[in-house]
Amino acid sequence: MFLKRKKVRALAGEVDYSRLPRHIALIMDGNGRWAKKRGLPRKAGHAMGAETFRRIALYCKEIGLEYFTVYAFSTENWKRPADEVNAIMGLLEKYLLEAIEKMEKEQMKLHIFGDLTPLSPRLKELCARTEEIAKTVNGLQVNLCLNYGGRDEILHGVKTFAEACQRGETTPDALTETLFSQYLYSKDVPDPDLIIRPSGEIRISNFLLWQGAYAEYYFTDVLWPDFDKEELNRAIVSYQHRSRRFGGIGGV
Ligand code: FPP
């Protein structure tokens, strides 16, 4: 009886909080267009995008989501003008400082996925401090993809695995999907159930290529700075209406 009522609510367009996805991942796209529409510099769009990220992450915590992963800076984003790259790095530094200060109090832990090698020493140090504090915190896990690329992540995983083989710690015969997952930045994080891309682009742009194999995708025309909790709810309701079969035929 209880379950039936919950299902009806979901069909009516409401989120069924008893069946939330465990892990939502999101491409924060559309900041530049949002700024252009208002005659503002692109970096103003990123600043607004960073605010939207804070609000949505907080909402994810409120509803009890376990994992929220966002694409903050890709391995290809270095091609942008230096002024824009510096503005994004500045926003990231500000957020990392906030996270270091508030993570324990807010019970929200931050992890970084990506190759941190080309980041400034300051950002590297903040990422290291963040990872250290995260070890002691429970609650929503936010994964910030920073200098992240899905192909780069897979190559990095292959190289690390090959090195482990050379050291005699493992063998190619031992390699399974589960073992390989442990060589990725997302080690120990379950695959995303739902991947959202705002801004009207219908592509995945090198985001979570391995992990997204069986994810449900949700695309919306809303630009990221305008994305709000109602839009997230719409994505979750859409997810809750899908039948996930993971290559099987379902219902068995
Ligand atoms: C894509 O939009 C967005 C980015 C490349 C950067 C995203 C970065 C932030 C939101 C700020 C830093 C993040 C945090 C978590 C503090 P776009 O510029 O490609 O948009 P467009 O397609 O409209 O040009």
248: pLDDT confidence band, cut at 50, 70 and 90? Answer: confident
Match domain 30-240 to its CATH number in 2.120.10.30, 3.40.1180.10, 3.40.190.10, 3.40.50.720. Answer: 3.40.1180.10
Burial class (CB in 10 A: 0-12, 13-18, 19+), 234: middle
Question: Going by DSSP bridges, is the β-strand pair 67-74/194-197 parallel, antiparallel, or unpaired?
Answer: unpaired
Q: Which of 16, 31, 77, 233 is catalytic?
A: 77
Please report the DSSP string for 165-220 in residue order.
Answer: HHTTS--GGG--HHHHHTTSTTTTSPPPSEEEE-TT----TTSSTTGGGG-EEEE-
Q: How far is the CA of 66 from the centre of ligand 1 (A)?
A: 23
Tell which wins on pLDDT, 19 or 13: 19
26 pairs with which residues across the strands? 70, 196
Residues shown for the chain: 252
Mean pLDDT for the stretch of residues 52-76: 97
Q: What pTM was estimated for this model as a whole?
A: 0.93
Per-domain residue ranges of the chain = 30-240
Is residue 95 lining ligand 1, measured as CB closer than 6 Å? yes
CB 146 within 8 Å of CB 119? yes
Pairing of strands 23-27, 67-74: parallel
Find out whether the beta carbon of 80 lies less than 6 Å from any atom of ligand 1.
no
Structure-token match 């039948």, residue found? 243
Give CA–CA dist 212/195, Å, rounded: 8
Phi, psi angles (nearest 5°) of residue 55 = -65, -45
Tokens for 15?
């989120």
For residues 43 and 86, what is the distance between their CA atoms, to the nearest angstrom? 9
**pLDDT tens, residue by residue, 187-242:** 999 999 999 999 999 999 999 999 999 999 999 999 999 999 999 999 999 999 99
Q: Is 198 in the pocket of ligand 1 (CB under 6 A)?
A: no
The pLDDT tens digits of the residues spanning 163-195 come to 999 999 999 999 999 999 999 999 999 999 999
